Amino acid sequence: MPIVVFIAAGALCGEAAALSKLQVPGAQVALYRYGFYRGEIDGIAGPMTRRAIRNFQRSRGLKPDGVVGMKTRAAFGRYGGPLFGTRVLVRGKAGFDVSVLQFLLAKRGSPVHALDSSFGPVTERYVRRFQRRAGLTPDGIVGRHTRAALVTGRRRARPATRSAGRRHIVRAGDTLSAIAERSGTTVAALAQRNRLDPRRFLLIGTRLIVPPRGGAAVGTPASRAAVEDALSRWAGHYGVSLDLVRALSWQESGFQNDVRSKAGAVGPMQVIPATRVFVEQFLIGERVPRTMDGNVRLGVAYLHHLLHQFGMDARLALGAYYSGPAAVLNRGLSRETQHFVANVLALRGRV
């Protein structure tokens, strides 16, 4: 049976009651911020969300009933209110309803790149964009008409699609290595994408899909120089210490793109599937190519996020990278995590 996540509809009135079921992403964002939820921000009150609600309630001495009522929302602090649909939203507002707004914008094809619960200039820009697409006055104000369009998906924007790569028809004289060099990819990536044996001849007229630029497909061999270049580029892009990024990557993979763990972690930054989904949706706002370069971007973006979440404390951020922010927030650094952090910090400036 689906859980009743919010206060009974009778406690609300009119449109707000009708919007009750749309509050779930607001709760998921709040639970994530406090380290109790690591799943997708999907607006679905599934088992992971229910468990996170109860665990949060227990941690605050509340009745673990799984209902996000007024006491639970009060415990969320700045992420706990007001409910979506109970006020007009304009630039400068913050809280639970802004989290829901940002989720709905992303759902309608306008990801704001960070579900930060704050209605700042970026969120306002995407509200205006959505309003133009929906045939509304682009005033950046989320009132009744804009809210209704967001909820119903009227004139829904075409969602961003993941690049599948360009097409190439094999001509006389073509080889996989020559095509890879011209296209900024690798023989391994070409062979994997097209299910080819690189030791065999290419047949003229064969239709190939050339993977997007960005280096080797994640999980396949890549040169150390290419990995180091990606580490340097994304560390600069996100403003994270290159020494720290290099040390983390070396500890995780030894700068190797083809390393895979039993937990499903892969690539130079050993990004697990759940982290990939979180970073793409929560931090970047778009799909990232499944390449070595994309893997490095995901890892560095996540490290940047954790450093800010833990007040630029590198020890805690690295611990959260290794064991998850919820574990660090709730239990501190375990002995195993402490060893991992010590190793990374000892490698700074040495790799």
pLDDT tens, residue by residue, 5-37? 554 333 334 444 444 678 888 898 899 888 898
One domain, residues 189 and 229: no
CA distances from 282 to 116, 134, 224 (A): 9, 24, 29
Q: State the sign of the Cα–Cα–Cα–Cα dihedral 115, 119, 125, 126.
A: positive
One domain, residues 37 and 77: yes
CA distances from 261 to 84, 269, 316, 345 (A): 41, 11, 23, 22
Q: Choose among 71, 114, 121, 66: nearest CA to 93.
A: 121
Position 158 pLDDT exceeds 50 = no
Tokens 């045939």 sit at which residue?
135
E-state strands within the chain: 166-169, 207-210
One domain, residues 182 and 120: no
- pLDDT at site 272: 93
Q: Choose among 24, 35, 31, 40: nearest CA to 276.
A: 40
Q: Give 281 or 1, the one with higher predicted confidence.
A: 281
One domain, residues 138 and 171: no
One domain, residues 203 and 237: no
Q: Looking at residue 63, which CATH number applies to its domain? A: 1.10.101.10
Containing domain of residue 173, as a range? 166-210
CA distances from 208 to 165, 181, 203, 211, 291 (A): 10, 15, 11, 9, 18
**C-alpha to C-alpha distance for 294 and 310, rounded to whole angstroms:** 24
Number of domains in the chain: 3
- In-domain check, residue 216: no
Eight-state DSSP code of residue 284? I
Q: What is the pTM of this model?
A: 0.56
Beta bridge partners of 142: 89
Cβ-based neighbours of 294, under 8 Å, separated by 6 or more: 214, 218, 288
Q: Which of 169-173, 185-189, 234-238, 283-287 has the lowest mean pLDDT?
A: 185-189
Position 260 pLDDT exceeds 70 = yes
Q: Other C-beta atoms within 10 Å of 337: how many? A: 22
- In-domain check, residue 159: no
- In-domain check, residue 78: yes
Position 138 pLDDT exceeds 80 = yes
Phi, psi torsion values for 156, nearest 5 degrees = -55, 135
One domain, residues 201 and 240: no
**C-alpha to C-alpha distance for 50 and 12, rounded to whole angstroms:** 22
| 207-210 and 166-169 strand pairing | antiparallel
Given pLDDT bands bounded at 50, 70 and 90, which one contains residue 186? low
One domain, residues 145 and 13: yes
Tokens 């990024």 sit at which residue?
245
One domain, residues 120 and 179: no
- pLDDT at site 270: 97
Q: Give 156 or 341, the one with higher predicted confidence.
A: 341
- In-domain check, residue 160: no
How many percent of the chain have pLDDT more than 70? Answer: 87
